[in-house]
Chain A
């Protein structure tokens, strides 16, 4: 709010002489009256002459704005009112456009749902190899970032509003040789951007391009290049791996193809009657990860122990520490040579990457479970990934013009580089960014960056498949994409981005059908061919030389806001983090035992410090005890503690970057921890992680999955529990319609929370803020519960997504005094918001506590621009109203309408609920249980099937498949 006001002031006062004048202080007013009586009169009353002058000027300005607007914002096409309805648009029916979501340069195919040209929801593109129709939390949340009211709206020159044309004059004045011009960008795989970069280098021979990612897979690629002698990208074949060993690599949540890899991994893990085979996963790690929670055997290690572990695995020995785990892993790997896969965290040093590559090579995994393709990233002579060398160039005064395209290096660069100081030595600095962030402040020019849904572009997937980014809405503000700016740097100020892309692909291959590619999102035939006959250079022996101190520190990207890139997104901020269920904050994670030895309790604020050079760097954050964390070590998540850019991210969490140096991107051998005398409250949606001996998440053996019997009442011969709850739906009515049901496979649920985000986007679920979450009033319709089992130090971990159970004998309906919650003919337990008076009795009587109540007017806090994201098919709930999962009744109805028009039954799998569609592992299946041929009916018959708390006689429609344990 304050920022907006100050912007207005600066907009109206382009020229000023003193701070007093700018602020229009009383003293200044007095001074004005004393010294310039003529000027004073203008501010008080205006005569005819002055009026005409001012009007003339403002008309001129208005004209300029219109002209400006016309060339930047409005597409130069005819506007046709809906007098004649456009052929492809039926008001009320959504249109889907294929596009691509880019994370760390790599693309994942998406389908964007638009309502009357307003993007509202993102689905995965089934044709895209990295998505296969599924999504991850960032893809789901990106639609909200489009409408972020804190986005940069205008070009700024030293905090003053400016225009793109003024900035282009800077570009026009670049030296022809490109001497002293540097571009710093984020990772990219975009073929057209790489093409433009190559042309730029051609035009400006002395220009250099750098790229920087705070969380980078550079070490992996460098190791591969050193080992094979060429730039390569990896493809992991989880579909072929029977045994997977991970050294700190959470491939389920942060690999380059996490959605695809999660699917491939889960496909090998679906235990059904008649197919008991499943892959085996062994994980060694410091901080419990999604992969660690799925592991058969999880080993807690300090960050410095990975070298020793990998050396032992390489030698096939299991002496010393962790011998039991090592023995098991070595034995399993040997038994599955050629169908196993050993992974290691991407930030671990190159030498370690090389050792792990050697292990895979000796197991014969290369070419089988680990394949290589030519690098999807630009060639190293085109784009240098070394930020340190850029900083030394800046420090030595070689850089006159620095163009930073995206990112926030001032915030996220390694602390030893002192990027901010180096930036001061650069002549002209321009920063293209979606937010006015820490880097923007130190730059001369701030340029607004377009959102992915507003811009044209392209990107490659992990396997090289190229896909197109097509805008689904005209840019909301005066922003440009990286591609457009690269073209402008090359002197091309006028070609629309659409033409840049289409021309590039036309040149790339004449056979490419542009319309078809745009329609499908994926450009066919662009997948890279597998490298064959790769020669691995001789291995020089495992160099294990991690020291490890008394207390080690590990840095991890945050599972929702990554390196800080997504910190402006309220959905991601409020998404409970897997393992801790904390949102709106990061924590200093320690194991319960280490915490006890350091006399630490939850929410105690501690100071972590280390010397970098001669300077003592310190950070402060709240401690949180994380069962399963390694001893003698702490973990902090990056991306928090933003101070600028967005009202959402400011003030949440603490910034851990000040402790991170270029040599210690992943771990710090020794850290000082000091307990401070204060507390910081954190918001956790779950505080009790013990199942108390109740059968909430059922654990079954593999044998049971083959020989047992379903425990879903009424399925597989299981008896109905006796119940006093009334039958709402007479059997004769129920027989005539579908019986919607859902099955959730706890064996393949990886706990990633994509379902929660998909549900939030689909069902207009408001964000309530940290204080309300502390009071346990979060609104998520589907939640992912998390349980620990066994010892508090080294527990087993389980996830359980809990949507509404849609009980056939619903206890909530019985107690509602106004019948606001009742049963539909197809067996849905529905909620009539209009009829709800808010007694909350239904929630008290819900054994699953899936009902959410609008304690306050939460939807009022949705900011005006964010309202555009709302799904028009779902009611916005007012305060005082109960709400809950509806099985996406709006999706059911739209499919039913289509089916009725075509006079046919609804096909199995035709309706996908938002959570089901988003789930990367397809753990959620929705359908009609009344149809014995449907997937859901069969899943309910599985031996592993059970209903939650079925002894209460509620007869839930949502059922689970038990987790299989060895």
Chain B
């Protein structure tokens, strides 16, 4: 992108640019899904996703045949990539609901263009995260024992276990996110139904749009339910990762047993979520010509949020180190030293670079408004947040209380195959989403266009 183009975009500090009418918005967005031929970008991206998805299925099949021993986990490090990736994906899944629900409730107009795909991202990330608790079980065929269901033996899950809380938290979050996403999409699905050229498309969208006719009463009820759902989803944004963090804090293990974890995890989750939003939004607007809808203003705002949450996370790192020193507890102190100087020091300093140092560039507006720098930075943050989970899980476990037990952990080929496989799952689902559903909320965008055009006319 040329320098002039960047500058031109910078000047348009608005959430909607270009000349758009209500019809052109509908045309451009619903057209992506229903009318335009498949682009090469789409075919390439979807193929990569599909191949990686096949890799995932292969890795899972072998896993179920042989057992979790094919991974690198051992004693003392009994949790490895599966839990790291679970927390990583769940974290990524935070931004969607944050954008849709919290920003909606506080009337942040700029959320409009990015909420739909951010919510989709949430759902797909949660679906990737959701398979890990199953995969990591020694006997996955008994996974239903973790669910409270009435049975003749009178056996229930052990409700003191954070894993049980976790399962409820994630399941609730996934359900509410799905409903929120779907309800928000109903008016758009109706637009798609009306504009689709083929009968079978009209039938499918017709079923999905639940008989939406754009009637005033429909709109009134829609607005009500949307606010209610936003209200319901808001606490979930905070609760899910708080509960995930309790998988660790409830344990005795130094490096896990920490009261700072719930808010620290939530901040980290939103941090990684916004990084992923940027990772997805920047190529999306480029390759699908959505620069008018997802503007530099959006990127700038996301980058600011990235900086804020990043600083919160950095504060967490400082205080983890401080409390371990201040506690004067042998084990706690050793954890801090071992992180910085132990065998996994490279991972720790990578984490500090990615999550603390690199984001300081976001203080500069020039960085915040350069899409491709942001794109690179979002990648760095994604890596950093993965490292953070690695540090928390592996580095705490590998050297705990009794030195004779100390060991090492290395992810092996099967660990990576599963991890990359879930990326494929995410990618493939996302490409299907781009092709089949409106990536930006048409109805909300039309409201914006209407508002803008009215303002301009006045």
Q: Which residues of A contact B (CB under 8 A)?
A: 686-694, 696, 726, 772, 775-777, 783, 785-787, 800, 802, 811, 813-819, 835-841, 843-845, 847-849, 851-857, 878-882, 948-949, 952, 954
Contact = CB atoms under 8 A, between A and B. Distances in A.
User: Which among B146, B161, B404 has the greatest number of chain A C-beta atoms within 10 A?
Assistant: B404
A258 B156 CA distance: 52
A397 B375 CA distance: 87
Contact of B139 (A691, A775, A813, A881): A881
A783 B405 CA distance: 10
A687 B407 contact: yes
A642 B74 CA distance: 30
A837 B158 contact: no
Given A839-B163, A856-B69, A849 B405 contact: yes
Given A694-B403, A814-B160, A836 B138 contact: yes
Given A696-B402, A855-B67, A776 B407 contact: yes
Interface residues of B, number: 49
A815 B166 CA distance: 12
B64 to A, nearest CB: 10
A857 B65 CA distance: 10
Nearest to A800: B404
Contacts of A696: 402-404
Contact of A815 (B162, B404, B406): B162
A847 B400 contact: yes
Interface stretch (B217-225, B248-256, B348-356): B248-256
16 contacts: A688-B403, A692-B334, A726-B160, A775-B74, A776-B74, A777-B74, A815-B161, A838-B68, A840-B138, A845-B253, A847-B252, A848-B402, A855-B74, A856-B67, A856-B70, A879-B69
Contact of B68 (A693, A819, A855): A855
User: Which among A692, A726, A786 has the greatest number of chain B C-beta atoms within 10 A?
Assistant: A692
A775 B411 CA distance: 11
A653 to B, nearest CB: 23
A836 B137 CA distance: 10
B78 interface: yes
Interface string B69-81: 1101111101100
B250 A840 contact: no
Given A879-B139, A954-B252, 12 more contacts: A693-B330, A777-B75, A785-B402, A815-B160, A817-B145, A817-B163, A818-B145, A818-B158, A844-B397, A849-B75, A852-B75, A855-B69
Contacts, number: 168
B54 interface: no
B401 interface: yes
B116 interface: no
A851 B76 CA distance: 9
Given A775-B74, A817-B157, A845-B251, A879 B138 contact: yes
A847 B79 CA distance: 15
A772 B72 CA distance: 10
Contacts of B198: none
Nearest to B412: A775
A817 B252 contact: no
B170 to A, nearest CB: 13
User: Which among A686, A817, A852 has the greatest number of chain B C-beta atoms within 10 A?
Assistant: A817
Contact of B403 (A691, A839, A854, A880): A691
Given A843-B75, A849-B76, A879-B138, A811 B252 contact: yes
Contacts of B73: 840, 855
Interface string B378-411: 0000000000000000000101111111110000
A819 to B, nearest CB: 4
Nearest to B133: A839
A836 B158 CA distance: 12
B67 A880 contact: yes
Contacts of B72: 775
A246 B402 CA distance: 32
A697 to B, nearest CB: 10
A845 to B, nearest CB: 4
Contacts of A841: 78-79, 161, 163, 247, 251
Interface in B25-79: 66-70, 72-76, 78-79
Contact of B406 (A688, A881, A948): A688
Nearest to B76: A849
B164 interface: yes
B158 A839 contact: no
A854 B68 CA distance: 9
B261 to A, nearest CB: 15
B137 A880 contact: yes
Given A692-B403, A776-B75, A847-B402, A814 B138 contact: no
A106 B417 CA distance: 57
Nearest to A691: B403
Contacts of A818: 145-146, 157-158
A809 B367 CA distance: 54
Given A815-B251, A854-B138, A687 B406 contact: yes
B250 A814 contact: yes
Contacts of A855: 67-69, 73-74, 138
A777 B67 CA distance: 14
A838 B134 CA distance: 10
A816 to B, nearest CB: 6
B105 interface: no
B251 A844 contact: yes
B141 to A, nearest CB: 9
Contacts of B74: 775-777, 855
B139 to A, nearest CB: 4
B293 to A, nearest CB: 44
B368 interface: no
Contact of B251 (A783, A811, A838): A811
A879 B138 CA distance: 7
A601 B139 CA distance: 41
A690 B334 CA distance: 14
A127 B161 CA distance: 51
Contacts of B331: 694
A840 B137 CA distance: 8
Interface string B125-148: 000000000001111101101100
Contacts of A882: 138
A849 B400 contact: yes
Nearest to A811: B252
Nearest to A818: B145
A882 B139 CA distance: 10
Contacts of A881: 138-139
Contacts of B405: 848-849
A817 B164 contact: yes
B74 to A, nearest CB: 4
A878 B68 CA distance: 13
Q: Which 6 residue pairs across A and B have the least CB separation, nearest first?
A: A838-B138, A880-B138, A855-B69, A856-B69, A785-B404, A840-B78
Given A777-B74, A855-B69, A857-B67, A817 B161 contact: yes
A843 B160 CA distance: 16
A694 B138 contact: no
Nearest to A777: B74
A553 to B, nearest CB: 30
Contacts of A776: 74-76, 407
User: Which among B137, B163, B252, B334 has the greatest number of chain A C-beta atoms within 10 A?
Assistant: B252
B330 A694 contact: yes
A843 B66 contact: no
Contacts of B78: 840-841, 843-844, 853
A878 B69 CA distance: 13
Nearest to A882: B138
A687 to B, nearest CB: 7
A839 B136 contact: yes
Nearest to B399: A688
Contacts of B76: 776, 843-844, 849
A691 B403 CA distance: 6
B205 to A, nearest CB: 41
A880 B141 CA distance: 11
A108 B156 CA distance: 52
